[in-house]
C-alpha cells in the first residue's frame, strides 16, 4: 500500500503542470497538489497558509491525528481520505474500456453455458474496479465496505432463495401446462394470454 | 450516564428562557411544518400516527360490529365494503401506524436525546421522510375516496391486478411510505454510528437504541425490496407486463416471495422497537440494573438477521415447493431463541426488584403477557402441517394481533406514557393512566383470545358472514374491541387534558439514568447545554437517585 | 468532542445564559462537531443509500434471473432484437462519465474550480448522450412494437434480423428454404417464437427504464453540484456533496455494467 502511494505522489507532481489550464485556480491547485504529495493528512495546514478564500473555510483546527504527519501514508489517518491521482483514475478507465471490448468480443465465440459465466465474470471485475477505485472503497472505512458487501449478500440471498423455490416448483408449472395445453401451441403467447385474461384491458401501444 | 446534578430549585423552575423549551423556541405553523428539529418532527409524527390510529381503529370497530350477528349486521356495510374495511384497517395500521409508530414518532424524539446529540445526522432527510409519510398517507386516503382497494394489505396477484377497485393509489401510497421508512432507518443508523456522546460505547447504548438500530438495519435492507415489488405491481396493473400475472406468463408465487422478503422482516420493524421500549421501562420501574444487557442488545440484532431467512413461512399453502417450505419452517423456530432470551432477561430484571406499578410499567407488563402468547402461537404456525390446518383462519388473525396490537401497540403506549412528561412537560393523571392501561389489556385479551378458539375450529379470516356456531365467540370478541376502543378514547382524553395544565413535569419523574432525563422537560432546542459525557451504563446508578416530594421527581442524592 | 461556544450563533440568546454549543464552521451543520464529523456521517449515509439502491434493483435482477433460468429460449430468441453496438456505446459513455465524476472529486478537494466545473459538465454531457442513445433504442422498439405484455407484436421475426443471420448462417439457410417452400408459416415452424417472449421486453423496459430514471436523477444532482461548484463552495474540508454525488453516479454505472451483458450479450 505504501509503495503504491509513493508512486502515485510522484505522478501527481508531474501532473500538476498539466493541470494549470485554469487561470484562477491553477496556483491553488499547484500548492495543494504539492502538499497533498507530502501528506494527505495536512490539508488544513495548507488552507491556513495559502488559501485566498480563508474566510470561508476558516478557522480550521488541527485534527486530532496531527502527530502522524510525515509518518508514511496510512490512508486512515485523514478521515476524509485522499485525492486519487488522475493517472490512476485514467488507468482504471482504460482497463474498464478494454474489458468492455473483451466482453463484446467474447460473444462472437460460442462457449455454451460459459458465455454467461464469462460475461458475468467480466462484469464483476469491472464492478470491482469501479467500487474499489472510483468509489474509493479501497481506502475507505471498513464500515462502508461492510455495508456495501452486505447489500450484495442480501441481494444474493433474496435472488437465490426465490430461485431455488421457483426451480423446485417449475415442474409443477410444466406439468400443468402439459395437461392444459393452450389452444394453439405454436401461437405467440399474447394471443393465448389475451384469451385467458379477458379482464385485463389492453393498454395503448404507445 | 451522568446522573442529574441539578438542585431542587433548578428543577422546579426549568424554563428560564424561551429557547430552553423546543415548543416555544420558534413560533408559527410554518416553524412546525418546516422544522428541522427532531423533537418537533417526532411530535408531528406522533399526532399524525395517532390520527391514523383512530381511523384504522374505526375501521376495525366497523369490522367487529359487522360480526355481531352471523349474517349482515350493519345496514350500510355491504360485503364489498367489508372487504375494503379490513383492507384499509390493515394497510393503515401496518403502514401508517405500527411501522412509523415507535421508530419515527418516539424514536425521533428520543434517539438524539439518548445519544447526547443535538439532532439526528440528517435533519433535512428526517423532515423529508415525514413529508413523504404525509404524502403516502394522502394517497392511501385518496384510494379510499376513489373506491378503496379490497385486496388485503398483502396485495396478492392475480387478484390485485384484476380487481376493479383503486389499487394503484394504495400501492403508490405504500411505495412512498416505504421510502419514508427507508430514510428514517438510514438516518437513525448513521446517527447511532456517528453521533454518540463521548464515552458512549456500543455497550453503553440504551437498549432502545439497540432495538432502533436493529430495526433500521431491516428498514435499510428489506424495505427497498418492498419498493420494487410495489412498483412492479403498479406497472403490472397499469401496463400488464406479465412478471406477476399468470395470464401473461408471470408468476404470482414470485410476487409473494417479493412481498414477504420485505414483509416478514417488516413484522420485526414493527415489533423490535417495542422490545426496545419495554427494555427501557422495566429496569427503571424495577429500580434494578438490566439483567443480561448484552444478551438483549445482541438478540435484537439476531432477530433482525434471522428475520430475513424465514419469509417463506407465510407461503406454505401458496404452491411454494416442499424444499423451500422445510428450510423456512426450520429457520423460523430459531427466531424463538433470541425472543425468549429477551423475555427471560426482562423477567430476570424484575426479580427481586422494587417494582413500581406506574402506567408505563403496567403497559410493559401487559406487553410481556400478551407478547408471550403471541410469540408462542407463532411457533405453532411455523410447524408446516399445523399451518396447513390453521392457514387463513382466525388463529392467524389472533396471533398477528397478539403480536402487533398486544406487542407493538401496547409497547408504543407504554413508551408514550413513559416519555410523555419529557415530550410535553406535563404529567398525566397517574390514576387515570392505570385505569386506561388495564382497560386496554382486558379489551385486548377479550378481543383476540376468542379468535384463537374460533380459528382452531375453522373460522376463516376475511369472511363477511359466518356459521351460527361462532356467534358467541364473535360477540365476545366484539365486546372486547369496544372495551379497547373506549379505553383508548379515555387514554386520549386524559393525555390531552394533561396538556391544558401548566408545566409540572420534573426533569426526571421516573428516576431513570439514561441521558434524556438529564435535560429539562421539555428539552431545550439544542437538547443539552453541554454534550453530556457518558461514564456508566444506561441502567446503572439508580441507587444514587432519590425521590424528592418537592420536585415531584428524582434528583441525585446529596453527599451528607 | 466537547464544544467550545460560538458567538456567531448566539443571536436571540440571553446574555446571562449559556450559549448553545455550536461548531465554528459556516459550512458544517450545527449538530456536527467538525468537517470530518460531517463528512464521515454523510459518507456512511450515502453508502447506506447505495445499499438501498442495490436492494431496490435486486428485485428486477431476481425477476430476470428466474425467467432467464426457467425460460432460456425466450432470452435466446429475443436478444437478437437488441443492438449490441448501441449497448456497448452506452457502456463506454457511462464509464467515461464515471471517470470524470471520480476526477471531479479530486478537483473539488484540490479546489480546482474550473476543472471541477468542466468535469461536471462532461459528466452531464455523457448522461445526456446516454439518454439520447436510449431514446433512439426505445423509439425503434416502439416502432417495431417490441413491447411488453399484450403490446408485443414484432414487426419482424427474429430470423429477419442481421444479428441472427450473422450468428446462425446454417439455421438461416434452413429458414430460407422453408420460406421458399411454404412461406412464413413454414419458416415459423423451423424457428418458432417461444411462448411469452414479451416477458423479455417487459424486463428489458423495466430494468433499463428504472436505470434511466436514475440517470435523470443523476443529471439533476449534477446540475445542482455545478451550481455549488460555480459558487466556489468546495475545498479540502468541504467536498462531501461532490463525493456523494459521484458515489451515486458510480452506482448507476455499476447497475449498467451488469445490465449490458445480461440484456445485450446473450448467447
Judged by CB atoms within 8 Å, which residues 175-194 of A form the interface with B?
189-190, 193
Q: Is B357 exposed, middle or buried (0-12, 13-18, 19+ CB in 10 A)?
A: exposed
Q: Compute the mean pLDDT over every residue in chain A, rounded to the nearest whole number.
A: 65
Average pLDDT (C203-212) is: 96
Q: Is the separation of the CB atoms in C48 and A147 below 8 Å?
A: yes
The stretch C89-113 carries a mean pLDDT of 95
C182: confidence class by pLDDT, cuts 50, 70, 90: confident
The single-letter DSSP state of residue B503 is: P
Residue C74 lies in a domain: yes
CB A162 to CB B323 under 8 A? Answer: no
Cell of B338: 433470541
Q: Which residue reads 399445523 in cell numbers?
A: B386
Residue of B nearest to C2 (CA): B531
Listed by number, the residues of chain B in 264-323 with a beta carbon closer than 8 Å to a beta carbon of chain A are 308-309, 312, 319-323
The answer to whether residue A202 scores a pLDDT higher than 50 is no
**Mean pLDDT throughout C204-225?**
96
Instruction: Name the minimum distance, in Å, from the CA of B122 to any CA of chain C.
Output: 8
Quick one: DSSP state of residue B518? G
**Total residues belonging to chain A:** 206
Which of the listed ranges A45-49, B373-377, C11-15 does the model predict with the highest average pLDDT? B373-377
Using the Cβ of C142 and the Cβ atoms of chain B, whether some distance falls under 8 Å is answered with: no
The mean pLDDT of chain B is 90
Q: Which of C12, C22, C63 to mutate to test the interface with B (most CBs of B within 10 A)?
A: C63
Asked if the structure places residue B2 within a domain, the reply is no
**pLDDT, tens digit, for every residue of A104-134?**
998 888 787 888 999 999 999 999 999 999 9
Displacement of CA C72 from its chain's centroid (Å): 25
**Domain around B226:** 8-77+85-195+206-244+252-556
Lowest mean pLDDT among A17-31, B311-325, C100-114: A17-31
CATH number, domain of B336, equals 1.20.210.10
Contact status of C41 with chain B (Cβ, < 8 Å) = yes
Instruction: Give C140's contacts (C-beta < 8 A, 6+ positions apart).
Output: none
* Res C191 pLDDT > 80: yes
Tell me the pLDDT tens digit for each residue of B90-110: 989 998 999 999 999 999 999
CA of B500: how far to CAs of B36, B132, B283, B493, in Å?
26, 31, 31, 11
What is the Cα–Cα distance from A171 to C92, expressed in whole angstroms? 41
* Position A182 confidence tier, pLDDT thresholds 50, 70, 90: low
Which residues, other chains included, contact A193 with Cβ-Cβ below 8 Å and sequence gap of 6+? Answer: B242, B247, B248, B249, C149, C150, C196
More confident residue, B548 or B13: B548
Question: Which residues of A are less than 8 Å from C84 in CB distance?
Answer: 104, 107
Reported confidence tier of residue C12, pLDDT bands at 50, 70, 90: very low
Contacts of residue B396, Cβ cutoff 8 Å, sequence gap at least 6? B381, B390, B455, B461
The answer, yes or no, to whether residue A40 has pLDDT greater than 90, is no
Q: How confident is the model at residue A66 (pLDDT cuts 50, 70, 90)?
A: very low
- Residue B428: inside a domain, yes or no? yes
pLDDT of residue A70: 38
The reply to whether residue C235 touches residue A36, judged by beta carbons under 8 angstroms, is no
Cα separation of B443 and B61, whole Å? Answer: 12
- Helix pair B410-424, B252-286: axis angle to 10 deg: 50
> Above 60 in pLDDT, residue B286?
yes
Range from B204-208, C2-6, C75-79 carrying the lowest mean pLDDT: C2-6
Length of chain C counted residue by residue = 267
Any domain includes C233: yes
* Spatial CB neighbours of A181, under 8 Å, sequence gap ≥ 6: none
pLDDT reported for residue B464: 92
Instruction: State the Cα–Cα distance between residues B532 and B254, nearest whole angstrom.
Output: 51
Spell out the domain ranges in chain A. 9-82, 87-179
Q: What is the pLDDT of residue B550?
A: 83
* DSSP secondary structure letters along A41-100: GGHHHHHHHH-TTHHHH---PPPTTGGGTTS---TTSSTT--PPPHHHHHHHHHHHHHHH
Give yes or no for A52 touching C (CB within 8 A). no
| Angle, helices B167-194/B207-239, rounded to nearest 10 degrees | 150
Q: What is the pLDDT of residues B378-413, one digit of tens each?
A: 999 999 889 999 999 999 999 999 999 999 999 999
C-alpha cell at A112: 455454451
User: Could you give the ipTM of this predicted complex?
Assistant: 0.90
Task: Provide the residue range defining the domain that includes C259.
Answer: 53-144+193-264
Taking the Cβ of residue A157 and every Cβ of chain B, the question of whether any pair is shorter than 8 Å is answered with: yes
Decide if B161 touches A, using CB distance below 8 A: yes
- Residue C101 clears pLDDT 50, i.e. is over it: yes
B19 band by pLDDT with thresholds 50, 70 and 90:
low
- Closest-CA residue to B129 (of B231, B223, B263): B223
Tell me the pLDDT of chain C averaged across its residues: 88
The mean per-residue pLDDT over the stretch B168-195 comes to 94
A159-175 core/surface letters (b: 16 or more CB in 10 A; e: else):
bebbbebbeebbeeeee
User: Residue B5 burial (CB < 10 Å; 0-12/13-18/19+)?
Assistant: exposed
pLDDT digits (tens, 9 = 90+) for B96-147: 999 999 999 999 999 999 999 999 999 999 999 999 999 999 998 888 888 8
Out of B108-122, B237-251, B420-434, C41-55, least confident range = B237-251
CATH of the domain at C215: 1.20.120.80
Q: Is the pLDDT of residue C247 over 80?
A: yes
Q: Is A197 on the interface with B (CB under 8 A)?
A: yes
Please tell me which of the candidates A154, A165, A202 has its beta carbon nearest to residue B221.
Answer: A154
Mean pLDDT, rounded, for C122-143: 96
Decide: C174 and C190 in contact? Cβ < 8 Å.
yes
Place of cell 384484476: B162
Residue at C15 is within a domain: no
Min mean pLDDT across B35-44, B241-250, B429-438, C256-265 is at: B241-250
CB contacts, 8 Å: C262 with chain A:
119, 123
Residue C214 maps to a domain: yes
Determine, yes or no, domain membership for C224. Answer: yes
pLDDT at C23: 63
Choice among A118-122, B156-160, C25-29 with the minimum mean pLDDT: C25-29
Residue B274 has pLDDT above 90, yes or no: yes
8 Å CB contact of C267 and A152: no
Q: Higher-confidence residue: A50 or B59?
A: B59
Nearest C-alpha neighbor of B32 from the set B42, B40, B24: B40
Instruction: Pick the more confident residue, C190 or B479.
Output: B479
pLDDT (average), residues B490-507 = 91
User: C196–B118: do the CB atoms touch at under 8 Å?
Assistant: no
Q: Residue B17 has what pLDDT?
A: 54
**What band does A201 get if pLDDT is binned at 50, 70 and 90?**
very low
Report which DSSP code applies to C192: P
Whether C111 sits inside 8 A of A29 (CB atoms) is: yes
Q: Is residue C234 part of a domain?
A: yes
Partner residue facing C202 (CB), from B16, B119, B241: B241
Higher per-residue confidence, A114 vs C136 = C136
Domain assignment present for residue C210? The answer is yes
Task: State the nearest Cα–Cα gap between C13 and chain A, in angstroms.
Answer: 23
The answer to the question of residue B339 being in a domain is yes
Confidence of residue A76 (pLDDT cuts 50, 70, 90): very low
* Beta carbons of C14 and B195 less than 8 Å apart: no
State the chains in contact with A (3 or more Cβ–Cβ pairs under 8 Å).
B, C
Distance CA A110, CA C84 (A): 16
Q: How many domains does chain B have?
A: 1
Q: Does C61 touch chain B (CB under 8 A)?
A: no
Q: Is residue C257 part of a domain?
A: yes
Q: Between C30, C42, C52, which is nearest B224 by CB? A: C52
Count of domains in chain C?
Answer: 1
Amino acid at each position: 500500500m505504501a509503495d503504491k502511494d509513493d508512486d502515485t505522489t510522484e505522478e501527481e507532481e508531474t501532473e500538476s503542470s498539466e493541470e494549470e489550464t485554469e487561470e484562477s485556480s491553477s496556483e491553488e491547485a499547484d500548492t495543494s497538489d504539492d502538499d497533498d504529495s507530502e501528506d494527505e493528512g495536512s490539508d488544513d495546514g495548507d488552507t491556513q497558509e495559502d488559501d485566498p478564500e480563508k474566510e470561508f473555510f476558516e478557522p480550521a483546527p488541527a485534527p486530532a491525528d496531527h502527530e502522524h504527519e510525515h509518518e508514511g501514508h496510512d490512508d486512515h489517518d485523514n478521515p476524509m481520505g485522499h485525492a486519487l491521482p488522475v493517472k490512476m483514475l485514467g488507468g482504471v478507465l482504460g482497463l474498464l474500456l478494454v474489458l468492455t471490448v473483451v466482453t463484446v468480443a467474447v460473444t462472437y465465440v460460442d462457449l455454451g453455458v460459459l458465455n454467461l459465466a464469462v460475461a458475468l465474470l467480466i462484469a464483476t471485475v469491472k464492478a470491482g474496479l469501479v467500487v474499489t477505485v472510483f468509489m474509493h472503497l479501497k481506502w475507505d472505512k471498513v464500515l462502508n465496505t461492510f455495508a456495501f458487501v452486505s447489500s450484495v449478500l442480501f441481494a444474493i440471498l433474496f435472488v437465490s432463495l426465490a430461485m431455488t423455490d421457483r426451480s423446485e416448483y417449475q415442474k409443477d408449472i410444466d406439468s400443468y401446462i402439459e395437461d392444459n395445453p393452450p389452444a394453439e401451441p405454436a401461437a405467440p403467447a399474447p394471443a393465448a394470454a389475451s384469451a385467458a385474461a379477458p379482464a385485463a384491458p389492453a393498454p395503448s401501444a404507445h | 450516564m451522568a446522573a442529574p446534578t441539578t438542585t431542587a430549585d433548578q428543577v422546579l423552575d426549568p424554563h428560564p428562557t424561551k429557547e430552553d423549551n423546543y415548543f416555544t423556541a420558534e413560533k408559527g405553523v410554518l416553524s412546525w411544518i418546516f422544522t428541522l428539529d427532531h423533537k418537533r418532527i417526532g411530535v408531528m409524527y406522533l399526532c399524525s400516527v395517532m390520527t391514523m390510529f383512530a381511523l384504522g381503529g374505526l375501521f376495525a370497530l366497523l369490522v367487529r360490529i359487522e360480526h355481531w350477528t352471523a349474517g349482515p349486521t350493519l345496514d350500510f356495510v355491504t360485503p364489498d365494503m367489508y372487504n375494503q374495511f379490513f383492507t384499509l384497517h390493515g394497510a393503515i395500521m401496518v403502514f401508517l401506524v405500527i411501522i412509523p409508530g415507535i421508530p419515527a414518532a418516539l424514536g425521533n424524539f428520543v434517539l438524539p436525546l439518548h445519544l447526547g446529540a443535538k439532532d439526528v445526522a440528517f435533519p433535512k432527510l428526517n423532515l423529508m421522510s415525514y413529508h413523504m409519510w404525509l404524502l403516502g398517507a394522502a394517497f392511501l386516503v385518496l384510494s379510499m375516496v376513489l373506491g378503496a382497494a379490497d385486496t388485503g394489505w398483502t396485495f396478492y396477484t392475480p387478484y390485485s391486478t384484476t380487481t376493479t377497485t383503486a389499487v394503484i393509489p394504495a400501492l403508490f401510497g405504500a411505495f412512498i411510505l416505504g421510502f419514508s421508512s427507508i430514510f428514517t432507518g438510514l438516518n437513525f443508523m448513521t446517527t447511532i454510528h456517528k453521533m454518540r456522546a463521548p464515552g458512549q460505547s456500543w455497550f453503553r447504548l440504551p437498549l432502545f437504541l439497540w432495538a432502533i438500530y436493529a430495526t433500521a438495519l431491516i428498514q435499510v435492507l428489506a424495505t427497498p425490496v418492498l419498493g420494487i415489488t410495489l412498483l412492479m405491481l403498479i406497472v403490472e396493473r397499469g401496463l400488464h407486463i406479465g412478471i406477476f400475472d399468470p395470464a401473461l406468463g408471470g408468476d404470482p408465487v414470485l410476487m409473494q416471495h417479493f412481498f414477504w422478503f420485505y414483509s416478514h422482516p417488516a413484522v420485526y420493524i414493527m415489533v423490535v422497537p417495542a422490545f426496545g421500549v419495554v427494555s427501557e421501562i422495566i429496569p427503571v420501574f424495577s429500580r434494578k440494573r438490566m439483567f443480561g444487557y448484552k444478551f438483549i442488545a445482541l438478540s435484537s440484532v439476531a432477530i433482525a438477521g434471522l428475520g430475513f431467512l424465514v419469509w417463506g413461512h407465510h407461503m406454505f399453502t401458496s404452491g411454494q415447493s416442499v424444499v423451500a417450505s422445510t428450510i423456512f419452517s426450520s429457520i423460523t423456530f430459531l427466531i424463538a431463541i433470541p425472543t425468549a432470551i429477551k423475555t427471560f432477561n426482562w423477567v430476570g430484571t424484575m426479580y427481586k426488584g422494587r417494582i413500581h406499578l406506574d402506567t408505563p410499567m403496567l403497559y410493559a407488563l401487559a406487553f410481556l403477557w400478551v407478547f408471550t402468547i403471541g410469540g408462542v402461537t407463532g411457533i405453532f404456525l411455523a410447524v408446516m402441517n399445523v399451518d396447513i390446518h390453521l392457514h387463513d383462519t382466525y388463529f392467524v388473525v389472533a396471533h398477528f394481533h397478539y403480536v402487533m396490537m398486544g406487542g407493538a401497540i401496547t409497547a408504543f403506549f407504554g413508551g408514550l406514557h413513559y416519555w410523555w412528561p419529557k415530550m410535553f412537560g406535563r404529567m398525566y393523571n397517574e390514576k387515570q393512566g392505570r385505569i386506561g392501561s388495564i382497560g386496554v389489556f382486558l379489551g385486548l385479551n377479550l378481543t383476540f383470545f376468542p379468535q384463537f378458539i374460533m380459528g382452531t375450529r375453522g373460522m376463516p379470516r376475511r369472511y363477511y358472514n359466518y356459521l351460527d356456531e361462532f356467534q358467541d365467540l364473535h360477540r365476545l370478541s366484539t365486546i372486547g374491541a369496544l372495551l379497547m376502543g373506549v379505553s383508548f378514547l379515555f387514554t386520549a382524553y386524559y393525555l390531552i387534558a394533561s396538556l391544558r395544565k401548566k408545566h409540572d413535569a420534573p426533569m426526571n419523574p421516573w428516576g431513570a439514568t439514561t441521558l434524556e432525563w438529564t435535560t429539562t422537560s421539555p428539552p431545550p432546542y439544542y437538547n443539552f447545554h453541554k454534550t453530556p459525557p457518558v461514564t456508566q451504563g444506561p441502567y446503572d446508578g439508580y441507587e444514587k437517585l432519590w425521590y424528592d416530594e418537592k420536585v415531584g421527581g428524582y434528583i441525585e442524592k446529596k453527599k451528607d | 468532542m466537547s464544544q467550545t461556544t460560538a458567538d456567531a450563533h448566539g443571536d436571540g440568546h440571553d446574555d446571562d445564559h449559556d450559549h448553545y454549543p455550536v461548531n465554528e464552521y459556516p459550512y458544517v451543520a450545527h449538530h456536527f462537531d467538525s468537517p470530518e464529523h460531517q463528512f464521515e456521517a454523510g459518507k456512511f449515509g450515502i453508502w447506506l443509500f447505495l445499499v438501498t439502491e442495490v436492494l431496490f434493483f435486486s428485485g428486477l435482477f431476481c425477476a430476470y434471473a428466474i425467467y432467464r433460468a426457467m425460460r432460456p429460449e425466450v432470452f435466446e430468441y429475443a436478444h437478437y432484437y437488441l443492438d449490441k453496438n448501441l449497448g456497448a456505446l452506452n457502456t463506454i459513455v457511462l464509464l467515461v462519465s464515471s471517470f470524470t465524476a471520480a476526477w471531479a472529486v479530486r478537483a473539488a478537494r484540490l479546489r480546482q474550480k474550473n476543472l471541477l466545473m468542466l468535469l461536471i459538465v462532461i459528466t452531464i454531457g455523457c448522461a445526456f448522450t446516454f439518454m439520447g442513445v436510449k431514446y433512439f433504442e426505445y423509439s425503434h422498439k416502439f416502432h417495431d412494437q417490441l413491447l411488453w405484455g399484450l403490446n408485443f407484436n414484432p414487426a419482424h421475426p427474429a430470423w429477419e434480423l442481421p444479428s441472427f443471420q450473422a450468428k446462425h448462417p446454417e439455421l438461416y439457410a434452413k429458414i430460407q428454404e422453408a420460406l421458399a417452400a411454404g412461406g412464413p408459416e413454414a419458416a415459423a415452424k423451423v424457428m418458432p417464437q417461444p411462448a411469452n417472449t414479451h416477458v423479455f421486453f417487459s424486463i428489458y423496459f423495466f430494468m433499463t427504464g428504472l436505470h434511466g430514471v436514475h440517470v435523470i436523477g443523476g443529471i439533476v444532482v449534477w446540475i445542482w453540484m455545478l451550481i455549488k461548484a460555480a459558487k466556489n463552495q468546495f475545498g479540502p474540508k468541504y467536498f462531501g456533496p461532490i463525493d456523494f454525488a459521484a458515489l451515486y453516479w458510480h452506482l448507476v454505472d455499476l447497475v449498467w455494467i451488469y445490465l449490458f451483458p445480461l440484456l445485450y450479450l446473450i448467447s
